[in-house]
Amino acid sequence: MEMHQIRYFLAVCDHGSFTRAAQFSYISQPSLTQSIKKLEDELGGELFTRDRSGCLLTSLGRLVEPNFRKIYKETVTTKADALRFTKLNNIPLRIGLMATIGAQRLSPIFAHYKHEFPNIEFELIIDCETLLLQQLESDLLDLVISAPLQLLGSPYQSTLLYTEKYVVAFNNKHRFNHLSKIDLKEIQSEPYLDRLNCELRDTLRAICQDQEVNLYAAYRSNSEDWIVSLVRAGMGVALMPEYSLPANADDVRCRYLSNPEISRQIYAIYHPKNQKNTEINNLLTVLIHR
């Protein structure tokens, strides 16, 4: 089988008819139909059933579709990496960052690494941890930086990068500005800004129940930037990882949370046998020691 046959097969799957698939693929319908027929002959059975409304996958079609999608995705990724390498003479290193991890601590480290290894090209992919780990498993990412509640088992390696405390963030005119530390119970009298992507929400909820603290979420958002903007505007206070806050923000203040102290551990997760193992190890050395 050839790659264009797989591409045409997936086009029919995605568009529901040979006509639309041919239009999408910029070839004539007879050419697409002939390619699919050759693929069916090679696999030993029909891949689609046709009717007036379009076409549906047969049992054989449903069986081969996941593998064809994986093959096509890996081929596209390999071609993209090869093109970047040959055109730019760089080695692309694909790094996934959990959405709640701020740039304040890591950006200077990445800059130092780039200075030490100028031929390395970065791709920084920001997403939720679940999707990042799926991409790592599919070899679409080389490294994931996140705060896992439970470490991945074999064959993946998890390296601790740093521990990050939680702080109470508030507007610079807020009464908390006069305090050195802030207890959890003091927050319940304030409008609370709930970070929906926070991986410790269940932990925080359990702590609040133990201490009989009721945090009323006046506003909620799955965006760290929006939470910071609402803090800046004086809409309420938020519990955030300390490095999620922008550096040198004159209108945003923070204090460490006390009674209890809450922290999270940031890990680099990767496959030890990744083909870019040397680049990953060099990056880990910089991340750990700076």
Average the pLDDT over 187-196 and give the result. 90
Which pLDDT band, with edges at 50, 70 and 90, does 84 fall under? low
Q: In the structure encoding, which two tokens stand for residue 98, read together?
A: 């959990």
Residue ranges of the domains in the chain? Answer: 3-84, 87-162+266-289, 164-264
Question: In 3D, which of 98, 107, 96, 97 has the Cα closest to residue 246?
Answer: 107
Q: What is 3-84's CATH number?
A: 1.10.10.10
Angle among Cα 107, 108, 109 to the nearest 5 degrees reads 90
Q: How far apart are CA 66 and CA 72, in angstroms?
A: 10
Residue 85 has pLDDT above 70, yes or no: no
Write the pLDDT tens digit of every residue in 87-122. Answer: 555 567 899 999 889 888 898 888 888 888 887 888
User: Strand pairing partners for 162?
Assistant: 266
Residue 246 has pLDDT above 90, yes or no: no
Residue 41's pLDDT is what? 93
Residue 47 has pLDDT above 90, yes or no: yes
What stretch of H or E contains 67?
Answer: helix 59-88
The three-state DSSP-derived secondary structure of 73-108 is: HHHHHHHHHHHHHHHHCCEEEEEEEECCCCHHHHHH
Question: In 3D, which of 6, 17, 150, 145 has the Cα closest to residue 70?
Answer: 6
**Secondary structure class of 253 (helix, strand, coil):** strand
Q: Which CATH number fits domain 164-264: 3.40.50.450, 3.40.190.290, 1.10.3720.10, 2.40.37.10?
A: 3.40.190.290
**Secondary structure class of 213 (helix, strand, coil):** coil
Residue 99 near residue 127, CB atoms below 8 Å: yes
Task: Give rounded-to-5 percent helix, strand, coil for the chain.
Answer: 45, 25, 30
Q: How far apart are CA 66 and CA 71, in angstroms?
A: 9
Which CATH superfamily hosts domain 87-162+266-289? Periplasmic binding protein-like II (3.40.190.10)
Domains 3-84 and 164-264 share a fold: no
Q: How far apart are CA 100 and CA 254, in angstroms?
A: 17
Residue 238 near residue 227, CB atoms below 8 Å: yes
What stretch of H or E contains 265?
Answer: strand 263-270
Residue 204 has pLDDT above 90, yes or no: no
Mean pLDDT score of the chain, rounded to an integer?
87
- Residue position matching structure tokens 């890990």: 267
What stretch of H or E contains 224?
Answer: helix 224-232
Angle among Cα 232, 235, 236 to the nearest 5 degrees reads 95
Residue 269 near residue 146, CB atoms below 8 Å: yes
Write the pLDDT tens digit of every residue in 273-283. Answer: 887 888 888 88
Give the pairing type, strands 192-195 and 217-221. Answer: parallel
